[in-house]
Each structure stands twice: as C-alpha cells, then as structure tokens.
Copies of this chain bind each other. A is one copy, B any other.
C-alpha cells in the first residue's frame, strides 16, 4: 500500500458512519482508523452473551466484519460504498473478558475487491488474548449502483 493519509473530514465522516443501526445496538466503538487499518472496541455486558455466559460468536463475527469494512472504507474513493461479499471466522477460545478489541487490516486492495484480515482479542485484567480470527472479502460499489440494487434486490 502506498503511503496515504485520511483527511480530517473523511475521518470524521467515517467515525459517524461507523456507529449506527446494528452497530449502535451492539455498542461497538471505532477506536482508530488509518489507511487500510481499523481498530474497534466493545465493553462486554450480559447483552452480548450466549447460553454459557461467553461472548456470543455473533458479536465477534459482527465486530470482525464491521471493523474490516471500515478498514476497507479508508482506502476507497469517497463515492464508493463497501459491501461484504463473504467472510469466514474461527473462534479460538471462549471470550470471557470484560472488553473486546478488534484489529482489521486490508491485505489486498484490488480495483473492486478487497480482502481483510480481522482479529478479535478478549481483554481481561489488562491481558489480551486472540479470541477469533477472520478473513473478509469486500466489494467497493459506486453509490449509484448501490441505490439501484436496493430497489431491485437482484
């Protein structure tokens, strides 16, 4: 990746854009954003648990996907939107910490297709452990094409 910078305005836009709808429901926060890199966090509550009191796999999957999406957003042109084509996620250990941290990195930046590596860490008593690891395939779509898709639903 060539050296690049995210302008203040663009950063502020992506910060706002990140936090809405389901992401607000879940409570994920965007911590930092650099070209091709995003970091997010979550304060874990009972609202995120599964039947055995671990963090639900769906919470980590959502975090890995969404954070990867904004890592991708940070490297495409301003008139592009990002859609997730697919992802795969491995759950490596039960997440029992009080906080989750996600770090996503674009590993391939193609014309339309981007691929990101996205890792979720469980933090307890200040110690981070890798809890989940994902590979995410994303597509950059011009805003107009997206609107068309919305009405057509392919």
Instruction: Report A48-64 residues with CB < 8 Å from chain B CB.
Output: 48-59, 61-63
- Chain B: which residue is nearest A122 at the CB level? B153
Tell me the bound Cα distance from A146 to B86 in angstroms: 23
The 0/1 profile, CB within 8 Å of B marked 1, for residues 1-45 of chain A is 000000000000000011011111110000000000000000000
Contacts of A63 in B (CB 8 A): 58
Check A133/B107 contact, CB under 8 A, given A47-B21, A50-B21.
yes
Q: Is A149 an interface residue (CB 8 A)?
A: yes
- How many copies altogether? 4
Complex contact B54–A25 (CB within 8 A): no
The 0/1 profile, CB within 8 Å of B marked 1, for residues 106-137 of chain A is 01101011010100001010000110011101
Check A51/B17 contact, CB under 8 A, given A56-B62, A90-B85, A153-B94.
yes
Complex contact B87–A115 (CB within 8 A): no
Contacts of A124 in B (CB 8 A): 153
- A: residues with CB less than 8 A from B are 17-18, 20-26, 46-59, 61-63, 65-66, 81, 83-94, 96, 107-108, 110, 112-113, 115, 117, 122, 124, 129-130, 133-135, 137, 139, 146, 149-150, 153-154
